[in-house]
Amino acid sequence: MQLRQKSITKKPSSLKPQVPIHVAIIMDGNGRWAERQGLPRLAGHRAGTSNISRIIRFFANHGVSYLTLYAFSTENWARPDHEVRGLLSLLGEVIHEETQSLHKQNVRVRHVGRLDRLPQQLQRNIYDGLALTKDNTGLTLCIAFDYGGRDEILEAIKEMLRNGISPEHVTESVFHNYLYTRGVPDPDLIIRTAGELRLSNFLLWQSAYSEYYCTSTLWPDFDSNEVRQALDAYKNRRRRFGRVLED
């Protein structure tokens, strides 16, 4: 018993984080940003969308390997029709305008979430973008669009049942392979902008040991300085993973 205790108090290097391997962001506050400028909500979504390319660059320059951006939740379908249509059309614009540039930056794009409820043309454009960038070796960018953590878990369970997986073969690593994020390491750091302190159905399974960082800054104003502050905060965390640390 004592010997065992000794071994679990030893400090593995992973408990002293430096740069997170995977950062996931809940990009919130576009509506409030627009409201503050007396603009319609969609103007906020446009400003938020144009912030994305520079943020990708900042995180890539800091050495982050995986970046997941929460762009549209399974609950966001309940927003007014014109807002949902506007968000879908912004996604179409981004794919059209940014895919080539991401490809040139060696970024590999992944989609996490459902594709089946998106308009057919948008689905085709997404598949083309994924195929074009699939062999890139730089940053992996996961776009969470029509993503919900509960939906992801239910879909994984349904697929395991369809495949006839028996209970004794259900392990964490088997389950991971049925998630939209299969092959992507769990997020080390989850950032939420715009002040809310909740997950809003984001990466429920994957966030078991993620570090959280919340800022009141609205997403369109989240800049290089904010990126640095979030990464600095992460460096000062002590990730215990349930163990006892010596320091």
- Active site (catalytic) residues: 28, 76
**CA-CA distance, 244 to 247, in Å (whole number)?**
9
Is 72 among the residues that bind ligand IPE (CB under 6 A)? yes
Per-residue CA distances from 205 to 151, 153, 169, 196, 247 (Å): 11, 8, 18, 20, 29
**CA-CA distance, 183 to 189, in Å (whole number)?**
17
Neighbouring residues of 55: CB distance < 8 A, sequence distance ≥ 6: 25, 67, 222, 227
Per-residue CA distances from 127 to 50, 91, 139, 225 (Å): 22, 13, 18, 34
Question: Please, which residue, 95 or 245, has the CB nearer to ligand IPE?
Answer: 95
Is 87 among the residues that bind ligand IPE (CB under 6 A)? yes
How many Å separate Cα 158 from the centre of its chain? Answer: 23
- Provide, rounded to whole angstroms, the least separation between the CB of residue 141 and Mg ion: 21
Question: Please, which residue, 20 or 31, has the CB nearer to ligand IPE?
Answer: 31
Question: Which residue of this chain has its Cβ atom nearest to Mg ion in the complex?
Answer: 28
Q: What is the DSSP string of 85-119?
A: HHHHHHHHHHHHHHHHHHHHTTPEEEEES--TTS-
Question: Please, which residue, 107 or 203, has the CB nearer to ligand IPE?
Answer: 203
Residue 87's binding partner among ligand IPE, Mg ion, none (Cβ under 5 to 8 angstroms by kind) is ligand IPE
Is 181 among the residues that bind ligand IPE (CB under 6 A)? no
Question: Please, which residue, 32 or 239, has the CB nearer to ligand IPE?
Answer: 32
Q: Which of residues 24-53 bind Mg ion (CB under 5 A)?
A: 28
Q: Of 48, 40, 84, 2, which is closest to residue 193 (Cα–Cα)?
A: 48
β-strand partners of 189: 23, 211
Options 20-28, 75-83, 181-189, 239-247: segment touching Mg ion (CB under 5 A): 20-28
**CA-CA distance, 15 to 106, in Å (whole number)?**
30
Indicate the SS3 state at residue 20. Answer: coil
Residue from 51, 68, 73, 99 touching ligand IPE (CB under 6 A): that is 73
Residue from 23, 24, 27, 142 touching ligand IPE (CB under 6 A): that is 27
Residue 198's binding partner among Mg ion, ligand IPE, none (Cβ under 5 to 8 angstroms by kind) is ligand IPE
Is 28 among the residues that bind ligand IPE (CB under 6 A)? yes
Residues binding ligand IPE (CB under 6 A): 26-32, 70-73, 76, 87, 194, 196, 198, 200
Residues binding Mg ion (CB under 5 A): 28
